[in-house]
Homo-oligomer: A and B are copies of this chain.
């Protein structure tokens, strides 16, 4: 993986964590509402994995935000 990729995933994870907390969700609640495993949510937020596109739509739906919000952050 390119350094640029690692940085992007860390930024994506930090942005997701911020939005989740702003919306008052715990990781556990988000995992339930998006049909995903809590460890998957945790690894995304820590920038340790690159999530699958379709799971990002599950997360966006659960948080009630547009996909664009999840990918809009300063790179």
Assess the B54–A5 pair: CB atoms within 8 A: yes
Main SS at interface, chain A: helix
| Minimum Cβ distance to chain B for residue A15 (Å) | 12
Q: Which of A24-75 contact B (CB under 8 A)?
A: 50-57, 67-68, 71-72
Q: What is the interface of chain A, defined by CB distance below 8 A to chain B?
A: 1, 5, 8-9, 12, 50-57, 67-68, 71-72
- Tell me the bound Cα distance from A12 to B67 in angstroms: 12
Task: List 23 A-B residue pairs with CB atoms under 8 Å apart, sorted by A's residue number.
Answer: A1-B54, A5-B54, A5-B57, A8-B54, A8-B57, A9-B53, A9-B54, A12-B53, A50-B52, A50-B53, A50-B54, A50-B55, A51-B52, A51-B53, A52-B52, A52-B53, A53-B53, A53-B56, A67-B71, A68-B68, A68-B71, A68-B72, A71-B71
